Amino acid sequence: MGIKNQLIIITIPMKPEKIEKIEAEFSIQDLLKEIKENALRERISSIVQYRDLIDEIVEEKRIYGYFSDDEDTTQVKKDLELLWPEVRNVLDK
């Protein structure tokens, strides 16, 4: 017997006047800030760990709709990867 993953969705009724459209868009700088915070908290010490963190955060944002369907998340990841020296400097302090 294996463990089965289940997705449970809970909906909470809201009054229509309280529903707002939230613009779910992230810039590279927003992502970089979040990555730096996570890297410090997780004590990232290598480019391999940094790449894993980028993958995790970008995938999470994609799942929650922060990227449009036609957005090239591969390029976003590459752009963030190029910022490793900047992140490493923050981690070395």
Residue range(s) defining the domain that contains residue 85 = 16-92
Q: How many domains are contained in the chain?
A: 1
32 is a domain residue: yes
Distance CA 87, CA 80 (A): 10
Contacts of 61 (CB under 8 A, 6+ apart): 26, 31, 67
39 is a domain residue: yes
**What pLDDT score was predicted for residue 87?**
93
Q: Over its length of 93 residues, how does the chain's per-residue pLDDT go in tens digits?
A: 454 555 555 555 444 444 343 444 568 888 999 999 999 999 999 999 999 999 999 999 988 888 887 889 999 999 999 999 999 998 888
28 is a domain residue: yes
Distance CA 62, CA 69 (A): 9
7 is a domain residue: no
Say what the pTM is: 0.69
